[in-house]
Amino acid sequence: MRRKLYEIVGRTLLYGCAAVTAGLLLFLAGYILFRGIGGISWRFLSTAESVIHGTVGILPAIKNTVFVILVSLAAALPLGVGAAVYLTEYARNRRFVAAVEFASETLAGIPSIIYALVGVILFCTALKLQKTLLAGSLTLAIMILPTIIRSTQESLKTVPVSYREGALGLGSGKWHMIRTVVLPSSIDGIVTGCILAVGRVVGESAVLMYTAGMSMAMQSFSIDRLAGASGATLTVALYHYAKENADFAVAFSIAAILLILTVIINFSASFLGRKLKELTYG
């Protein structure tokens, strides 16, 4: 009888934890959509803010966000995957590897405002990029580098030794083996790392306020013009409307868009991962 009670109490507590967590998340998502979705219109999505025309639009912020995601990933992905391959497959010095792993784990956890400081000193000032979307993207690239390195490493480690032996036994060189067998087998983990990284990029505001600026103005669509411009991403725009304009309706609309964007990114990334795997394995 006591045993049975013990089981029931345990199960109820666990059920409660799950219910509270799921409930909170659902409430949050529901509340944001409820408050925000009404303000979303084609006009809202396709125009810029204009005092003269009296419009509130977030097209520049959407463009800036996409730009920042693409550029920071383009910079961090090859670097991070390359570093992870070196650390897991080539590095012989165990203490060096352990030190780098410890450092990257620590770096993945430090507050982003510290990256902002580094970005301001390194990219904005020393490299004379000033407050631009390029400087912001590069700073974010540094910020997401540890995430990409660690998730790639974990994924590389799960590739069975038997695959490696099979490839080497056929006379494959080490790099050829990695490129043709190890990396394709770990594409899932790399994609997961990218999703986490994009999540951090989309959610980041502190770094971008300091390194990319808060301009709400429309920039040209060309890459070079966008790179050299200062601009706010969606999160920074959200901050701008909520804090400086106290316009919560707009802030909630942006929040709803961010929520939807995140869902889209996650789905498309896992879709892409599956497709890539099919493509490499035929």
Judge whether 206 and 281 are in contact, CB under 8 Å: no
Is 171 a binding residue for other proteins by CB under 8 A? The answer is yes
Q: What is the dihedral of CA 81, 108, 256, 138, to 10 degrees?
A: -60
Cα atoms found within 13 Å of the Cα of residue 43, Cβ hemisphere only: 9
Q: Which 5-64 positions form the footprint of other proteins (CB under 8 A)?
A: none
Is 111 a binding residue for other proteins by CB under 8 A? The answer is no
Is 173 a binding residue for other proteins by CB under 8 A? The answer is yes
Q: Which residues contact 12 (CB under 8 A, 6 or more apart)?
A: none
What are the Cα distances from residue 72, in Å, to 26, 130, 135, 142, 197?
Answer: 30, 17, 10, 8, 9
DSSP 8-state code for residue 88: I
- Segment lying near other proteins (by CB under 8 A), choices 60-68, 79-87, 159-167, 201-209: 159-167
In the list 166, 203, 225, 275, the residue contacting other proteins (rule: CB under 8 A) is 166
Tell me the number of residues near other proteins by CB under 8 A: 22
> CB 155 → other proteins: shortest distance, Å?
14
- Segment lying near other proteins (by CB under 8 A), choices 75-83, 136-144, 155-163, 261-269: 155-163
In the list 93, 162, 222, 246, the residue contacting other proteins (rule: CB under 8 A) is 162
- Segment lying near other proteins (by CB under 8 A), choices 38-46, 132-140, 166-174, 204-212: 166-174
> What stretches of the chain adopt beta strand conformation (E)?
48-50, 55-58
Alpha-carbon gap, residue 193 to 213, rounded angstroms: 27
Alpha-carbon gap, residue 51 to 72, rounded angstroms: 32
Is 163 a binding residue for other proteins by CB under 8 A? The answer is yes
In the list 70, 117, 122, 168, the residue contacting other proteins (rule: CB under 8 A) is 168
Q: Which 175-194 positions form the footprint of other proteins (CB under 8 A)?
A: 176, 180-181, 184-185
For other proteins, which is the closer residue by CB, 174 or 243? 174
> What stretches of 51-169 adopt beta strand conformation (E)?
55-58
> CB 265 → other proteins: shortest distance, Å?
27
Angle between helices 133-157 and 112-119 (to 10 degrees): 130
Judge whether 166 and 113 are in contact, CB under 8 Å: no
- Segment lying near other proteins (by CB under 8 A), choices 58-66, 168-176, 204-212, 255-263: 168-176
For other proteins, which is the closer residue by CB, 147 or 185? 185
Is 95 a binding residue for other proteins by CB under 8 A? The answer is no
Sites of contact with other proteins (CB under 8 A) = 92, 160, 162-173, 176, 180-181, 184-185, 280-282
